[in-house]
Amino acid sequence: MSSSNSQPEYVLPRDASETERLNAQDLIWVSSIGFRAHPEIVKSIPKNARIADVGTGTGVWLIRLGSDEYQLEGLDMSDLQYPASHPENLTFHTLNILEPVPEKYKARYDLIHLRLVMAGMKADSWKIAAAHLLEMLKPGGFVQWEEGDFVHFTVLQGEPLAPMAALKKLNDVGIGRNIINKVITDAPVRMTSILRDAGFASSHASITSSDRDPKARQAFTEIMVKVLGATARWHLAQGYKDMFDADEVDKVTSQAMEEAQGARAYMQVAIYCTIGQKAA
């Protein structure tokens, strides 16, 4: 989230290709968990609910929410990926969820959504973010927080004996380095407890898998190859000596894309969608 000394630097680019990736990833992610906004939440919030998406990026989750009655607000620490055009009921603002909550955002939202903000978090960031989210919610409001258990991210064979060496190398180096750096942690698995410890009245998690829909396996893997390739390049730029060189990153990334064709081999992660509710 923040690039200050106290927080990890956001390692992914904010360019046109990353915007395209985020928009494609949104559809695959929703297909994997089975909904955009949890049905329990949709039934509970008012028709004119004020909804925020924290770490919104391109705002795609809000744009595809599909209701012109909701009051939608995209919040991110960077405005570089905000779209030039968007629905009239959607506005964008800059906000760092790890910084103290400005007064105007306190007790403001019926629902706050977050997805895959792990890349900008440190070990102590999760409880800070959870406490700030609680401040931002109206009494009885909900948070819907989606993350992957990337500590146990894995490569599987969709066909017996399918080659997967390049996919495994990207996984071992990209994910492994982020685990060592404590960017990737088990926080998503503990999210129900994190929310309760922050003061949420209740919390529960829906757990699905990125390979739930076999038709999405190749597309999800291609997206992750792009992410891990970008992460590897960032680590190289930071001077990590255990990484392969820039030319090898390109070579391994290309080979990994070939291995993913037809989902002969693919990447898989457990997805935790945690719902928390503030006391009424």
pLDDT at residue number 242: 60
The pLDDT of residue 94 is above 60: yes
**pTM (predicted TM-score):** 0.91
**Other CB atoms within 10 Å distance of the CB of residue 89:** 16
The token duo for 227 is: 């992410």
DSSP 10-63: P-S--SHHHHHHHHHHHHHHHHHHS-SS-HHHHHHS-TT-EEEEET-TT-HHHH
Long-range CB contacts (< 8 A, 24+ apart) of 42-51? 44/140, 44/142, 45/110, 45/111, 45/141, 45/142, 46/110, 49/110, 49/111, 50/108, 50/109, 50/110, 50/138, 51/109, 51/110, 51/111, 51/112, 51/113
Give 194-250 pLDDT, tens digit per residue.
Answer: 999 999 999 999 999 999 999 999 999 999 999 888 888 877 777 776 667 778 888
Q: What's the mean pLDDT in 27-32?
A: 94
pLDDT at residue number 152: 93
% pLDDT > 70, the chain: 91
DSSP structural state of residue 215: G
The pLDDT of residue 5 is above 70: no
Give 113-172 pLDDT, tens digit per residue.
Answer: 999 999 888 889 999 999 999 999 999 999 999 999 999 999 999 999 999 999 999 988
Which position has the token pair 């730029």? 237
Second-level CATH architecture of 16-277: 3-Layer(aba) Sandwich (3.40)
The pLDDT of residue 105 is above 60: yes
